[in-house]
Amino acid sequence: MAMRKRVVFLDRDDVVNKGRHHPSGDARNYVTKWEEFEWIAGSKEAIIRLLENDYFVAVVSNQACIGKGIVEHGDIRTIHNMMLDELYVATRLLPADKPKLLQGYLVGNLQFYICPHTEGDQCSCRKPAPGMLLAAAYEYNIHLPSAWMVGNQQSDIAAGLRAGVKNLIRIDASQGMLNSHIPANSLLNHGVIIPNLLHAVNYILEQDGVETEDHLEVIWCPECRTVQVASVEHTAPFFTHIHECTQCKYMILESEWNQTTTGEAPVEEDIRGC
């Protein structure tokens, strides 16, 4: 019998890409076209890392903008196809000795599920309802208790729990780099709060016992103020990690590069204020 793939359910907005938030006007709260789509630093690498380690990734996203008539199904499909294109391009940047991901493989192992309904529709797919996860589980024979759900809202966590997923990660960029635990719940194997998707994927691979020789991190250069994703080798704990900035060649100490959790350069006062 073929071995069942490991599975990660991914919320999209504010996990993979920056959500749009505006106090007024519905349309300004949604990514309605590709020009409005912005990857969060490290999220593209995080998805590729899952795929290259043979995970199945199901993006599960509430898109009430369809039900509200702001966009059409096809507009969201176009955005997701652009995401696939960019992921495909990014896989070519993998070192040559890594298994090459063919576009077909990428498309086959990354699926998008969207709920087009509004809250008033009372559907079974809008998170916190578990419908999208259950549909994916049915279609791809997913073992839900060993799958992971990664989202930034309580409704994502609730949808995971209701579907029977036991490994839940809440993304919260304000939480700092130390993983904190989601309040104890006997239903969970792993419930943690982690600042970004790349760190969440590092955690998932670690918990699932997937051997990787390196570790990707979102790193911020205090010299030229750029944010970059770097491969950090596992070394003995007494070595201080140093990363050479790809832009300005500054040698960034580990204590400096973790000063950003959001993938944005910190504002000046945060670092130099005294």
148 and 7 in contact (C-beta within 8 Å)?
yes
Please say which residue, 14 or 52, places its beta carbon nearer to Mg ion: 14
Core vs surface per residue 184-215: b (16+ CB within 10 A) or e: eeeebebbbbbbbbbbbbbbbbeeeeeeeeeb
- Using the rule CB under 5 A, give the single segment among 113-121, 181-189, 209-217, 235-243 that binds Zn ion: 113-121
Member of 182, 224, 227, 265 binding Zn ion (CB under 5 A)? 224
Please say which residue, 121 or 214, places its beta carbon nearer to Zn ion: 121
What does 125 interact with, of Mg ion, Zn ion, none (CB < 5 to 8 A by kind)?
Answer: Zn ion
Please say which residue, 24 or 240, places its beta carbon nearer to Zn ion: 240
User: Cβ 18 to Mg ion, closest distance in Å?
Assistant: 10
Per-residue binding string, Mg ion, 120-159, x by CB under 5 A, is --------------------------------x-------
- The CB density around residue 155, as the number of other CB atoms within 10 Å, is 15
Please say which residue, 4 or 249, places its beta carbon nearer to Zn ion: 249
Question: Can residue 196 be called a binding residue for Mg ion (CB under 5 A)?
Answer: no
Question: Can residue 114 be called a binding residue for Mg ion (CB under 5 A)?
Answer: no
Helix, strand, coil in percent for the chain, rounding step 5: 35, 20, 45
Give dist(CA 42, CA 200) in Å, integer: 11
Give DSSP secondary structure letters for 99-143: PPPPHHHHHHHEEEEEE---GGG--SSSTTS-HHHHHHHHHHT--
Member of 250, 254, 258, 266 binding Zn ion (CB under 5 A)? 250
Question: Can residue 243 be called a binding residue for Zn ion (CB under 5 A)?
Answer: no
194 and 170 in contact (C-beta within 8 Å)?
yes
| H/E segment holding residue 207 | helix 197-207
Q: How many residues bind Mg ion (CB under 5 A)?
A: 4
Question: Can residue 115 be called a binding residue for Zn ion (CB under 5 A)?
Answer: yes
Question: Can residue 14 be called a binding residue for Mg ion (CB under 5 A)?
Answer: yes
Q: Which residue blocks in 34-187 are alpha helix, DSSP H?
A: 43-52, 64-67, 73-91, 103-109, 131-140, 154-163
Give dist(CA 124, CA 172) in Å, integer: 26
Question: Can residue 13 be called a binding residue for Mg ion (CB under 5 A)?
Answer: yes
Question: Can residue 32 be called a binding residue for Mg ion (CB under 5 A)?
Answer: no
Please say which residue, 43 or 228, places its beta carbon nearer to Mg ion: 43
194 and 203 in contact (C-beta within 8 Å)?
yes
Please say which residue, 14 or 45, places its beta carbon nearer to Mg ion: 14
Member of 6, 18, 245, 256 binding Zn ion (CB under 5 A)? 245
Contact residues for Zn ion, defined by CB under 5 A: 115, 117, 123, 125-126, 221, 223-224, 245, 247-248, 250
Contact residues for Mg ion, defined by CB under 5 A: 11, 13-14, 152
